[in-house]
Structure 1
Amino acid sequence: METTSRVGTEGAPSTVTAEGVPATRRTVDGYLQASFPWYGLDEAFTGPRWLMQVGTAADGTVQHGSTGHGEEPQVRGDSSGEKHRFAAVVTVASSPVRRSGDGTGVLEATTVSSAAWLAGSGLLAYTWPPQLDHALRDDWLDQQTETAFELADDLDGPAWSLLSLPVDGVPVPFHYRESEFGWVLAGSAPGGVHIGAYGRGMSAYGLGFSVVKDIATYA
C-alpha cells in the first residue's frame, strides 16, 4: 500500500501564521532551488497566477511546492471565501525510500498518495466552515486532516474516481474526488514528478497541466 508523510506538508494548518498567510509565501527563491520541474495549469488558463509555498526536507532540499491560479483565497473561514474561484497545483519530487540527510533515519518514498495528501490538506487550509469559532477550528481541522490522510492512502477506494487530463499535451489518468469543500486530484507526470491539485469554483474536468517555463512569472 502506498504511504504518505504528514511532515512539512504545504497548505497544512501547521504552516500558517497567525495572520493566515503561510510563512514561506511570495518568495521565488525556494522554487528556484528545486531539482525538479514545477507544474501549473497550461496556457489554456489565462487568469492570474501566484506563488504559494515550498516544502523542504531537514537538509533544506526542496521536496514539493504549489502554484496558484485564479482568485487568490484567504486562509480564514469567512463567508466571502466561498466566492473565490481558484485551483492550486502541487508538484512533488518522485523519490524512493532513502536515508535522511543526517544519516539517522529513513525517509518514506513519495508517491501519488503523497500528492493526494498534500492536495487534500491544502484544500482544508482554505475551506473551514465560517461558523466555527477558534475553539472548535483546531478540532475540526485535526479531524478533517486525518480523513484526508486516510483517503490519500486508499486511492483505489470508493471515494475516488478516475479522470483523464492532459499533462504537457499527453493524457494522464488522475485520481479524483469531490467534497463539500472543493475537489482534489492526484496523478504522475511523465517528467518524474507527481502532481496534485485542488480547487473550488473551477471545474477540474477542463483543466490541463504543463511544465512552468519561468516560475518567476508567478511571483
Structure 2
Amino acid sequence: METTSSSRVGAQPAEAPAPADAPPQTAPPQPSQSQDGTPVPAASRAAERFLAADFPWYGLDGAFTGPRWLMQVGTGADGTVEHGSTGHGDEPSARGEIATGEKERFAVVITVASNPLRRSGDGTGVLEATSVSSAAWLAGSGLLAYSWPGQMDHTLRDDWLDQQTEAAWELADDLTGEDWSTLSLPVDGEPTTFHYRESEFGWVLAGTASGGVYLGAYGRGMSAYGLGFSVIGDLTAYE
C-alpha cells in the first residue's frame, strides 16, 4: 500500500492502538442534549454520527436474526466520516473468551469509504487511498481489541497489542500472501470474493462491495462461512 505521506486508516475499537501517523479515529463528540434541553439517547447520538456519512453502511443480511448495535465511526483530518463498524451477536469484551473461557458469538462489519485522496492531519501531505487492505487492517486490529491471552498480565497487554497490531498491518499489506485464503460470500445477494484468514483469536475478512465501499469483518464464535452482507436500509435496527 504505497503512500505519499505514510498513514493507515485508524482502528475503530477504542482499545486498538492506532499507529502514530493515523488520522483521527472517531467522530467529534455529539451533544448529550437537544436544543430544547431534552436528553438525547446514546443510541441516537451514535446514529447521528453514522448518518453524517456520504456512503452506504453495511451489516449482516436478513438471515441474521440476533442483536445488532452501532459501534464507532472514524473520521479524516477534515472531519469527514471515512469508516465505521456495526456489531452483531454478543457484545464482545476485551477480557472475553480468549482469557476467561466464556463463549462470545459476535461478528463486526466494517464499511470503509472509497477515498482516492486523503489529506494528512497537519494538511501538509496526501495520505494513501483507502483500499481492501484498509478494510483488512481495520478488521485485524479490531479483532485484537477484543482479544487478551489468558496467561498475559494486564501490564503487558499494551506491548502485546502494539506488536500484534503491527503484525496485522503487515498481513493486510500482503493480501495475496500465504496467510490469506479466499472465501465467496453474498453481498447484496451477489457472490463476492473476500480475503479470509483465521487465527487463535478469531477470523478476519476483507473485500469490495458494489456500492463503492470496501468491507471488512471480524468475529469469534460465529462462523464466517455462513455470513451474508447487505446495505443497512434503516439504522434503527441497530439502536
Q: Would you call these one fold, judging by a TM-score over 0.5?
A: yes
In 1, distance between residues paired with 2:216 and 2:105? Answer: 17
> Equivalent residue for 1:34?
53
TM-aligned CA deviation for residue 6 of structure 1: 3.1
Provide Cα deviations, 1:55-91, integer angstroms capped at 9, x if missing partner: 0112110000000000111133574464100000000
Identity within the alignment, %: 73
Q: Which amino acid in structure 2 is aligned with residue 187 of structure 1?
A: G
> Equivalent residue for 1:57?
76
Structure with larger Rg: 2
Provide Cα deviations, 1:148-186, integer angstroms capped at 9, x if missing partner: 000000000000001000000000100000000000000
Structure 1 portions without partners, runs of 5+: 16-21
In 1, distance between residues paired with 2:199 and 2:147? Answer: 11
> Equivalent residue for 1:93?
113
Structure 1 residues 101 and 143, CA gap change in structure 2 (3 angstroms): closer
Aligned-residue CA RMSD in angstroms?
Answer: 2.3
TM-aligned CA deviation for residue 97 of structure 1: 3.1
Q: Which amino acid in structure 2 is aligned with residue 144 of structure 1?
A: Q
> Equivalent residue for 1:129?
149
Structure 1 residues 145 and 99, CA gap change in structure 2 (3 angstroms): closer
> Equivalent residue for 1:157?
177
> Equivalent residue for 1:18?
none
Q: How many residues align?
A: 213
In 2, distance between residues paired with 1:81 and 1:60? Answer: 39
Q: Which amino acid in structure 1 is aligned with residue 142 of structure 2?
A: G
Q: Which amino acid in structure 1 is aligned with residue 222 of structure 2?
A: M
Q: Which amino acid in structure 1 is aligned with residue 159 of structure 2?
A: D
1:107 aligned onto 2:127: yes
- Equivalent of 1:117, from 111, 129, 137? 137
Q: Which amino acid in structure 2 is aligned with residue 131 of structure 1?
A: Q
> Equivalent residue for 1:14?
17
Q: Which amino acid in structure 2 is aligned with residue 128 of structure 1?
A: W
Structure 1 residues 85 and 77, CA gap change in structure 2 (3 angstroms): closer
TM-aligned CA deviation for residue 14 of structure 1: 3.5
Provide Cα deviations, 1:182-205, integer angstroms capped at 9, x if missing partner: 000000000100000000001000
> Equivalent residue for 1:142?
162
TM-aligned CA deviation for residue 101 of structure 1: 7.9
